Chains A and B, each alone.
Chain A
C-alpha cells in the first residue's frame, strides 16, 4: 500500500448470484478528468442560465440607456469633393491611420496589419505550453512583464510620434539631410520605419529576456501586450491629438468635428 492511503470501503464484492462483475481496471484518465468532475461543476440549469439572463438584461439596459442619452452622429451629406479636415476613419482603424502618417501606406495599411494578424493566428502554435492555463497573467513575472511592456510601448510610441511629427518626411529625414526623391521615399517610407519597428520589438524582447528569464508564455505576453497597447495608444493619439491636416495638437485645441463620433 502506498504511503498515506486509507481503505474507505469494499464495494462490489464477488457475489455468487451475479452473472457479471468488474473484470479489469485500465490505466488512464477518466473522461471527466480536468473537465470539471462532479465536485467542481454545477448544473447549467439554473446556474449558467441565470448568468446568461442577467448579462443579457444588463447589456440591454446599458445599450438602450446610452441610446437614450446620446444620439448617433450624422454629419453633412456625403461629398468627397469637400473632404472633411481632418478626415478620420472610425476609431478602431485610427491606429492604422496614425501609422499611415509615419511610413509608406502599403507598409502601414496592409503589410504591418497582415503580419500582426498572421502572428496572432500563429500564436497558439508557438506557445503550446499548457502549464499555467486558466490563471490570469500566469505568474508574477507575467504581471511584471506586462506592466513593463505597457510603459515601454507608451514611452517609445510617444517619443516616435513626437519625433516624426506629422509626416513621414519630417522626422526621419531630418537625420539625413540631402536625401531626396525615390531614395528619400524608400529610406523614410520603408527602410527607417521597418528598422525602427524591428529594433524596438527586438529591444523589448531582449530586455525581458535578460531581466526576467521568461518562459515561452511570458515571452508571448511581452509581444501581445506590446501589440494591444500599441493598438489602443495609437487610437488615442490619432483621435485626441490630431487636428487640421492630421497635425499634432492638444485635445482642447482640436478643431470641431475632429473626433469621429
Chain B
C-alpha cells in the first residue's frame, strides 16, 4: 500500500515527533522497572519470540511454536477458545454483579430491577452476563462436536476428552445455578423442573432434592445455596479443570492435526569415509508410522 506523500511543511515536525516518541519509548524500555518485568527485548527476532513465551506467566502455558493446522480457523473455529473467553467475561461481569446483588429471597428480585433502573450501565452489565452465559453453553456444545468430528478425542487426547465432558457438566450447572438467582418466575420454573428431576434419582431422590433445595420447598434456603455454588464452588472447579484441560493440550503434543503428508526428509547416515552424510529420503505414505531408520536407509 502506498501512503500519500507528506506535505513539506509537516515533514519536519512529524520527524521530530517520531524522534521524541522513540526517545520516550527507549527510555521506558531501558528503565529498570520495565526491564524487571519484561526480561527480553521486543519479540522481533526468533530468539526473543521464544523468550517472550517462556518469560511471561500468562503466555507460558502456550508453546513457542504452533502447528499451522492449529491456526487454521476452519479446524477449530476457535470454539474452545471462545468458550474460555466467555468464561473470563462471565468471571469479570459476575464479580461486578456481586457488588450489586444480595442473594436474599426478600430482595434479590428488587436488586435485579435496580440494575435496570438505578445502576449506571447496570442493565448492560446484567445483559452481558446473561447472554455470555447462554453463548458459553452453546459454544461448549459446539466445541465438543468439533472435537468429535475431527477425531480430537483419540489417544493421546483421550483423557482430555474426559476432562472436557466434566467441563461440559460444570458449564451446564453453572449456567443453571445463575438462572435461579434472578428469583423471578423463570427461576421458579427452572428450580421446580430441576428439583423434580433431581428428586427422581433412583434410591437417592429424597437426598438429592433436599440437597438442591435446602428445604422441602424452593425458598430462601435454596437461593443462598444455589448462590454459593454459582459464585464459588462451580467457578473454582471450572478454573481448575480448564487449567488441567489446557495443560493436557500441551502435554498431548498440541492440538490434533492430520498426519503430515511427509515431504522428502533428510537423514543422517555415517559415511564410509568416517564422516556423516545427509541423504534425501523419498516421501513415505502417511500411513507409515515410523520414519525409516538409518539401517533401513542403508540397506
Residues of A that sit less than 8 Å from B by CB: 1-14, 22, 25, 27-29, 33-37, 39-48, 51-52, 55-56, 59-60, 63-64, 66-68, 70-80, 83-84, 87-93, 96-97, 100, 104-106, 108-111, 117, 120-121, 123-125, 127-138, 146, 217, 221, 224, 228, 231, 260
Contacts and interface: CB of A to CB of B under 8 A. Distances in A.
Contacts of A123: 148, 153, 161
Contacts of A221: 148-149
B111 to A, nearest CB: 11
Contacts of A14: 273-275
21 contacts: A6-B279, A8-B280, A11-B268, A11-B277, A12-B276, A46-B49, A51-B71, A55-B85, A67-B128, A72-B131, A74-B112, A76-B184, A84-B186, A87-B188, A105-B197, A106-B200, A106-B202, A109-B200, A120-B165, A124-B159, A133-B256
Contacts of B184: 73-78
A10 B276 contact: yes
Contacts of A129: 154
B248 to A, nearest CB: 12
Interface stretch (B1-9, B20-28, B62-70, B232-240): B62-70
Contacts of B269: 25
B291 interface: yes
Given A11-B268, A66-B127, 5 more contacts: A36-B67, A67-B124, A67-B130, A87-B192, A217-B151
A109 B85 CA distance: 31
A252 B117 CA distance: 32
A10 B220 CA distance: 81
A27 B294 contact: yes
A226 B185 CA distance: 33
A77 B278 contact: no
Contacts of A80: 188, 191-192, 217-218
B82 interface: yes
Given A13-B273, A60-B89, A72-B126, A5 B131 contact: no
Contacts of A88: 189, 193
Given A13-B273, A260-B189, A127 B154 contact: yes
Contact of B162 (A40, A105, A121): A121
Nearest to A3: B282
B201 interface: yes
A213 B71 CA distance: 34
B186 A128 contact: no
Contacts of B153: 123-124, 127
B254 interface: yes
Given A25-B294, A51-B71, A63 B89 contact: yes
Nearest to B74: A136
Contacts of B191: 80
B112 to A, nearest CB: 5
Contacts of A90: 175-176, 179, 186, 190
Contacts of B130: 67, 72
Contacts of A43: 46, 49-50, 64-65
B152 A133 contact: yes
A35 B200 contact: no
B242 interface: no
